[in-house]
């Protein structure tokens, strides 16, 4: 991952490295559901967060699945997924395994720390800042 914003957007937990983009995309979809669920559990309003950070009007239902589905289909998220797909298409399989797992220039401890700090709010902040690189 080229920077902290990309790392926040695309880092997920998995028991083994992904072998293809579609698996990574599916894991992100699961993570978005979890982030929405955790936001509700902390008393936050995921709909208001999405509207504030992405500057759009939410028009779907109130369930975790509906909110996550809406988020996945926003222009910003689709751009982020396109960036991820391009990264997969350019994947250098000769790069060190740690670089593939944790991001460029980041060691395992830094990656774990950054991942532990990801909430729906920080995810949406990163998504709002994301540009196709």
pTM for the model: 0.83
pLDDT score for 95: 54
Is the confidence at residue 66, as pLDDT, over 70? yes
Distance of CA 115 to the CA centre of its chain: 10
Dihedral angle at the C-alpha atoms of 17, 25, 34, 80, nearest 10 degrees? Answer: 120
Residue for token digits 């369930």?
Answer: 63
Domain of 59 in residue numbering reads as 4-129
Mean pLDDT of the chain: 85
Number of domains in the chain: 1
């Amino acid at each position: 991952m080229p920077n902290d914003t990309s790392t926040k957007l695309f880092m997920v937990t998995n028991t083994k490295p992904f072998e293809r983009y579609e698996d990574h995309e599916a894991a992100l979809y699961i993570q978005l559901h979890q982030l929405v669920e955790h936001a509700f559990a902390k008393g936050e309003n995921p709909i208001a967060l999405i509207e504030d950070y992405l500057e759009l009007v939410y028009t779907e239902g109130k369930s975790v699945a509906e909110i996550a589905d809406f988020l996945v289909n926003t222009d910003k998220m689709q751009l982020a997924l396109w960036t991820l797909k391009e990264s997969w298409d350019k994947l250098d399989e000769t790069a060190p395994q740690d670089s593939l797992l944790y991001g460029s220039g980041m060691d395992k401890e830094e990656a774990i720390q950054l991942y532990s700090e990801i909430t729906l709010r920080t995810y949406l902040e990163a998504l709002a800042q994301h540009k196709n690189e």
